Amino acid sequence: MSQILIIIGVSIFGVLGAIHLVYTFFTEKFNPCDASVFTAMKSTSPRLTKETTMWRAWVGFNASHSLGVMLLPAIYLPLAVNHFEVIKNSIWFSLLPVAVGVSYLILAKKYWFKIPFLGVLISLVCFLVSAWLINT
């Protein structure tokens, strides 16, 4: 059961990350509703550097966020399917998804919206129950 829960939890992360990446590059879902904001983002640089615009930084941040989210399933899916004993025999590997899930849940609650919050919450519950089953 703990193996199935890890697989479900990281699969949700993978789906959310992949959808986010597709939305970033192939839709206008992350574009501002206000056209003047869109124009301003394309013509304004962050204080940090003049080498990019706020729009390019926004796209890059969204893309790197997607890749970061997809890293958890990229590691844990093959590990859970082919080498579950590594997760089962390691407090680190059994609790890391919990730590990642808590971190993303805090971000989702503070900065995002309902769908990613619920997806992360479901994943976190899977990770918590799996870790509890493994470590008790």
Q: In this predicted model, what pLDDT tens digit does every residue of 71-88 receive, in sequence order?
A: 999 999 999 999 999 999
Residue 12: both structure tokens together: 């949700």
Rounded Cα distance between 27 and 46, Å, is 24
**Residue 128: what pLDDT?**
99
- Nearest-5° Cα angle at 38, 34 to 40: 110
Is there a contact between 105 and 72 (Cβ–Cβ < 8 Å)? no
**Residue 23: what pLDDT?**
98
Count of domains observed in the chain: 1
**Residue 66: what pLDDT?**
97
Confidence of residue 11 (pLDDT cuts 50, 70, 90): very high
Rounded Cα distance between 54 and 58, Å, is 6
Domain boundaries, position 72: 2-135
Q: In this predicted model, what pLDDT tens digit does every residue of 97-106 receive, in sequence order?
A: 999 999 999 9
